[in-house]
Amino acid sequence: MDKSIEIHGGDEKTENSKAPFSCIPHGQRSRGRVAQRQTAELLHTAVEGDYGEADVEKLQSPCKCRKRKCKHKDDLEYIPVHRSFRASRSRRGCNTTSNLRGKINDELFERCFLKIWEDSPEEKRKLFTYMECIWFSMYTTDHYRKRVLTWIKRINVFSKEYVLVPIVLWSHWYLVIFCHLGETLASKTRTPCILLLNSLRELDNGLEPLIRRLVLDIYETEERPMDKKLMKKIPLLVPKVPQQTNGEECGIFVLQYANLFLKNAPENFSASAGYPYFMKEDWFGKEEIEGLHKRLETVEAEFSNADE
């Protein structure tokens, strides 16, 4: 049996692609009606002509987008990336009930992600860059789209082998990884591709068109030639990774995906030879998740004390 699912331009979908959003508890659903409408509008224009009304309908389900305003909304020079883990941070109206064994909000996720990043071997970090977890959801709104693309341009995604893109959208956490975007599609050993790591395979909500639209916009912002037909040829791969067992674990699972990918990613990633590499259903188990919980609970306590 295949260990992964591959999607090309939306022609093939994940298993149980019509599963309802009822798999997410009501308590995790956001109330951003405006954000939901704007996301649907962006999807409707994503790679024009390649996606139809069925994709838009997925975004118009009762599960609504979660949004957070950028506190530097008028500062185009602000680049909220790669900050020191111990830098002082203000409370941005965070959910004080957020915790690692429940629903993880964006602020707690960011703190834990930065700790994982700084603890990773330096020789591995040289292959990577990353986007902040709120950038993708901000990108889906007209107000912030150009601003986010400006920030992305400054982290030099085409000079790195991998770009980690944690996403929180529709009250669910995903990890997207851009691989070898600086290479050509003709490369056999360093294949440009997109990985989508999802701890709820039943949840298929039309994320792919938004991802492809973002990648196309990144190429255009960098003034690199890329048309819509070529964009469809960049494979979007969905490996069958370990799955969460309840409705509140997606955040910690995405942190674990990032943690292990940082440690184990090959220097040359191929979408054919070797794939899916280590990204399989037995990649990690409950013990490893528990170990990450304990490691990051210390981080959570340190920041909770700092905020008081």
Instruction: Output the pLDDT for position 128.
Output: 98
pLDDT above 60 for 231: yes
Instruction: Output the pLDDT for position 28.
Output: 39
For each of the domains in the chain, give its residue range(s) and CATH number, in order of start.
Answer: 4-72+100-307 (3.40.395.10)
Return d(Cα 266, Cα 127) in angstroms, integer: 10
Report the chain's mean pLDDT, rounded to a whole number.
75
Q: At what angle do helices 286-307 and 106-119 cross, to 10 degrees?
A: 110
Closest CA to 162 of 70, 277, 67, 244: 277
Residue of 284 and 3 predicted with greater confidence: 284
pLDDT above 50 for 228: yes
Return d(Cα 118, Cα 115) in angstroms, integer: 5
Instruction: Work out the widest C-alpha separation in the chain, in whole angstroms.
Output: 54
Closest CA to 285 of 264, 260, 263, 266: 260
pLDDT (tens digit per residue) in 45-54:
554 445 444 4
How many residues comprise the chain?
308
DSSP 3-state assignment of 11?
Answer: coil
Task: Report the pLDDT averaged over residues 212-230.
Answer: 91
Place of tokens 């959910």: 95
Neighbours of 233 (CB within 10 A): 10
Place of tokens 């912030």: 144
Q: At what angle do helices 145-153 and 207-221 cross, to 10 degrees?
A: 60
pTM beyond 0.85: the answer is no
pLDDT (tens digit per residue) in 145-166:
999 999 999 999 999 999 999 9
Instruction: Output the pLDDT for position 262.
Output: 97
Decide the pairing of beta strands 236-239 and 4-7: antiparallel
Q: Where are the beta strands (DSSP E) in the chain?
A: 4-7, 128-130, 162-169, 172-179, 193-197, 236-239
Return d(Cα 38, Cα 145) in angstroms, integer: 11
Instruction: Output the pLDDT for position 306.
Output: 60
Instruction: Output the pLDDT for position 213.
Output: 95
What does the angle CA 144 – CA 177 – CA 276 come to, to the nearest 5 degrees? Answer: 160
pLDDT (tens digit per residue) in 91-132:
333 344 467 888 888 888 999 999 999 999 999 999 999 999
Closest CA to 160 of 134, 137, 182: 182
pLDDT (tens digit per residue) in 7-41:
444 444 433 333 333 333 333 333 344 455 555 55
